[in-house]
Amino acid sequence: MVKSGTIILNTAARFLMPLQLLFSVFLLLRGHDEPGGGFIAGLVAAGRLPSIYLPLV
């Protein structure tokens, strides 16, 4: 039995994962000389993990 919303979460995760990675690389390249630039890029990259595993719950 498929949970309601699983299709929506899977579609959103597939769409957002590459965008999150691209945005993380942008933040890393843009802010690597500024305070906290690399840290924020790491946070955005780590934010991909919940979007990967959230549809599985």
CB 24 within 8 A of CB 41: yes
34 in any annotated domain: yes
The mean pLDDT value of the chain amounts to: 81
Domain that holds residue 21: 6-56
The number of folded domains in the chain is 1
1 in any annotated domain: no
The CB density around residue 45, as the number of other CB atoms within 10 Å, is: 16
24 in any annotated domain: yes
Does 22 have pLDDT greater than 90?
yes
43 in any annotated domain: yes
29 in any annotated domain: yes
27-53 confidence digits (pLDDT tens): 889 887 888 778 888 888 888 887 777
Contacts for 47 with CB less than 8 Å, ≥ 6 apart: 20
CB 21 within 8 A of CB 49: no
48 in any annotated domain: yes
36 in any annotated domain: yes
